[in-house]
Amino acid sequence: MKVTEIFEAKKKTGKPVLSFEIFPPKKEEALKNIDATLEKLCDLHPDFISVTFGAGGSTVDNKTVEIAKKIKNTYGVEPIVHLTCLHYGKEEISGILKQLEEAGIENVLALRGDVNPNIPVKYDFQYANELVEFIKIQGNFHISGACYPETHLEAKDAITDIHNLKRKVDAGVTHLVSQLFFDNEAFYRFYEKTRIAGISTPVEAGIMPVTNKANIERMVNLCGASLPKKFERILKKYENNKEALLDAGMAYAINQIVDLIANDVDGVHIYTMNNSKVAGRICDGIRNLI
């Protein structure tokens, strides 16, 4: 099932879409245990699960595609495969798309990807909209895209960033997943700007639960998300108490999601970091809302 069909079906129920993101573990031992994680995540009944795709990975022995196949065929949940293009050429992208088509995987999240100084950049694609246009002529895929509520770090300004997003949607993106954020008001302002710009696709709110101060600070540095004062106070008060920080982080994420749902968000995308317990606690907290 394509993601647009999922959104159409959920809209009829009056409830938002719920989805998770996972990543293929780098260590072989963790990869062997991915089934246990997938089983627990799928038992939470997400509408779909996205699987990240690392830069410079093998396009032949592809762990992302293999995990996506498990999600679809073993657990009966629709997968979305992330596809980055900065470090891949057209021939490699075509090969990956062929693998997806053969596996019956219909949904792709088209991304430029981050620069990795250890991997050479290939210049077949410079921006995500170019990858979207290429995917459109390669097969019958549904294409999702990323968006940045607080503006992409490399964008000249917020207006330019919205124009670039519109270009991506015009190229063929029909569903957007937001970068993580901790300030709902920033998301609401961004959402309004997308509508003013003529973007009518569903926009999922990306939520990353706080489980570790160092990890959150690293992600914030990578994506530019702001930290509200109340969130900073949580980090400061509980940074040396792992269990308390986890409890406070779960409460903050649940409160974010409750507010988003109350404001009729299109969907909520939880960055699980492959932690099924965290995803489970959040789903328990919003059980009757989704």
Q: Tokens standing for 73?
A: 């065929």
Quickly count: other Cβ atoms within 10 Å of residue 108's Cβ: 26
Cα radius of gyration (the chain): 18
Active site residue 21: yes
Say if residue 91 is exposed, middle or buried (CB neighbours under 10 Å; 0-12, 13-18, 19+).
exposed
Sign of the torsion formed by the C-alpha atoms of 41, 27, 30 and 72:
positive
Q: Virtual CA dihedral for 166, 160, 207, 257, nearest 10 degrees?
A: -70
Q: What are phi and psi of 14, to 5 degrees?
A: 80, 10
Instruction: Provide the CA 147 distance to its chain's centre, in angstroms.
Output: 10
Candidate list 8, 21, 102, 217, residue with the active-site label: 21
Catalytic residue numbers read: 21
